[in-house]
Amino acid sequence: MGRRLSCLPPRVAKLDVSVAALPPKEADRFYLSIEWRKLVASLIRTRGRRCERCGKTHEDDGGSVKLIGDHKVERKDGGAELDPANIELLCARAGGNGRPRADGGRGGCHAAKTAQARAQRMATVYRPGPRG
């Protein structure tokens, strides 16, 4: 048995590398939390099932609009997690069957806002210094 174990170290080292490469799941866990889901459900109840950007209430197929609670100031930018004032209800799909909108957006207002926030963050990080 002891002799077999002496063959293991190289395999273990390879395994460690693949484990280290797994992406962190912290962000996803927040959006699955009961507190978050309850808050979004109550916001939809009080504000109405309606996209707060484009006003959409129904998908093209006639079903209720799919809404996502979105942080106006994103959590990674220091926005409050559970403050209704920092949460906007955005439509999550371009159309009932996912067709792109006229402006080319595929994921509704939520995807558009997320892409915009990401671009802004990149612009901040990579902003060139003052001229001169």
Sites of contact with Zn ion (CB under 5 A):
51, 53-54, 56, 91, 109
107, 94 Cβ separation under 8 angstroms:
yes
Q: How far is the CB of 69 from Zn ion (least distance, A)?
A: 13
Amino acid code (one letter) for 81: E
Q: How far is the CB of 79 from Zn ion (least distance, A)?
A: 20
Nearer to Zn ion by C-beta: 26 or 103?
A: 103
Query: 109 by DSSP, 3-state: which?
Result: helix
Q: How far is the CB of 57 from Zn ion (least distance, A)?
A: 10
> Rounded to whole angstroms, how far apart are CA atoms 50 and 101?
18
> Rounded to whole angstroms, how far apart are CA atoms 83 and 34?
15
